[in-house]
Amino acid sequence: METAAIAAFTPPVRTLMGPGPSDVHPRVLAALARPTIGHLDPQFVVLMDEIKALLQYAFMTRNELTIPVSAPGSAGMETCFVNLVEPGDKVIVCINGVFGARMRENVERCGGQAVVVEDAWGAAVDANKLEAALKAHPDAKVVAFVQAETSTGAESDSATLCALAQRHGCLTIVDTVTALGGTPVRVDEWGMDAVYAGSQKCLSCTPGLSPVTFSERAVARIKQRKTKVQSWFLDLNLVMGYWGSSQKRTYHHTAPVNPLYGMHEALLMLRQEGLENAWARHWRYHLALRAGIEAMGLRFIVDEPRRLPQLNAVTVPPGIDEAQVRQRLLQDYHLEIGAGLGGLAGKVWRIGLMGHACSLKNVLYCLGALDAVLTGMGASINPGQAVAAAQAQWSHGAGK
């Protein structure tokens, strides 16, 4: 490519209703443009402390080690595993989708032994299977599971799974990337030990940061390691010196200053809305989306008791090329929805209702666009009914 022809990049304005990233709130975008200061500037240290406090609120925890990792959610996952898993450690990994499988990969790369508890994609983690695995492997040190499985939209019962792990002397590593800010994540109440999330989902922030929090039990395990953490950058023994509680911080890396401005603003907005209100909002708009999807004649792959309101896996009608539908939505409506992953590829769409994107306007826009595209392709659906059904559900729910 000739560089002389390259001009400033101006991205199109999209409506992001896939599995992430979600739409970024204008307040967050404005925060990103504030003047850059040094990552050891006294005012930046103040910002760091406020981010920690806001993350503690979001995670519902008092954990001192609560920070944003300077990298996306996958690095938050790796931070938990490389710090808590040593070579030879036995880790029970619950897999009910793509991201549980990534946990197993992390265990193996740390030199640990993964014991897999497997459930069907679209189902929650079966507590009875986990209990059986814990009894069969009394030497296990960690239980790892995904609370909100982004590949399917299924939510597992963190409270029950963490209680089982504690009863058998195991720490827990929990993926809340799609959960945080959209459904309850009660770290202290449920006894979670190492928890990671992402900035780009229900927090309505830009991608590239991963909030994590570690219990005192987890911190003690990290400090008592017999071997070095295999990643220098993610070694919390080093990172704690930078994100510690004192005004004097030990230089570890140059933090992404402006993205942290954005995270601060996003977390502040969550605090201003209130966690319970945010959870209720995600559920309310999910019900409207559900009414429209079902009126259209489509169905969800996850049973309602374990269905995430913010990540909706919807079946593709017979004979329809799902990729072509997504292409038309993007091209004609500037609307992004997600494809299925792994065994669900080509079979489902993943429709996100996350953070700033979780609104009645987006629900109706998505349903109308999907209805129009599918009708135009001759899909076997009930045309013209989705938007009215969603509006009726919204009016009914808002009146309560």
3-state secondary structure the chain: CCHHHCCCCCCCCCEECCCCCCCCCHHHHHHHCCCCCCCCCHHHHHHHHHHHHHHHHHHCCCCCEEEEECCCHHHHHHHHHHHHCCCCCEEEEEECCHHHHHHHHHHHHCCCEEEEEECCCCCCCCHHHHHHHHHHCCCCCEEEEECEECCCCEECCHHHHHHHHHHCCCEEEEECCCCCCCCCCCHHHHCCCEEECCCCCCCCCCCCCEEEEECHHHHHHHHCCCCCCCCCCCCHHHHHHHCCCCCCCCCCCCCCHHHHHHHHHHHHHHHHHCHHHHHHHHHHHHHHHHHHHHHHCCCECCCHHHECCCEEEEECCCCCCHHHHHHHHHHHHCEECEECCHHHCCCEEEEECCHHHCCHHHHHHHHHHHHHHHHHCCCCCCCCCHHHHHHHHHHHHHCC
Separation of alpha carbons 83 and 96, rounded Å: 24
Separation of alpha carbons 349 and 282, rounded Å: 19
* pLDDT number for residue 249: 78
Helix 216-223 × helix 73-84 angle, to 10°: 60
Digit-by-digit pLDDT tens for the chain (400 residues) are: 788 889 999 999 999 999 999 999 999 999 999 999 999 899 999 999 999 999 999 999 999 999 999 999 999 999 999 999 999 999 999 999 999 999 999 999 999 999 999 999 999 999 999 999 999 999 999 999 999 999 999 999 999 999 999 999 999 999 999 999 999 999 999 999 999 999 999 999 999 999 999 999 999 999 999 999 999 999 999 998 888 766 677 889 999 999 999 999 999 999 999 999 999 999 999 999 999 999 999 999 999 999 999 999 999 999 999 999 999 999 999 999 999 999 999 999 999 999 999 999 999 999 999 999 999 999 999 999 999 999 999 998 764 4
Helix 257-273 × helix 275-296 angle, to 10°: 90
Contact 125, 119 (CB under 8 A): yes
Separation of alpha carbons 315 and 255, rounded Å: 41
Only one residue has tokens 């640990």, namely: 112
Separation of alpha carbons 361 and 356, rounded Å: 11
Amino acid at 304: E
* pLDDT number for residue 247: 63
Domains of the chain: 26-271 (3.40.640.10), 275-398 (3.90.1150.10)
Separation of alpha carbons 234 and 244, rounded Å: 15
Amino acid at 222: I
**Residue 191: count of CB within 10 angstroms of its CB:** 18
C-alpha pair distances (Å), 226 with each of 82, 101, 110, 170, 229: 13, 27, 13, 18, 9
* pLDDT number for residue 400: 47
Residue 259's Cβ-count burial label (10 Å; 0-12, 13-18, 19+) is buried
For residue 67, what are its two tokens?
A: 């920070």
pTM, full prediction? 0.96
Separation of alpha carbons 20 and 78, rounded Å: 19
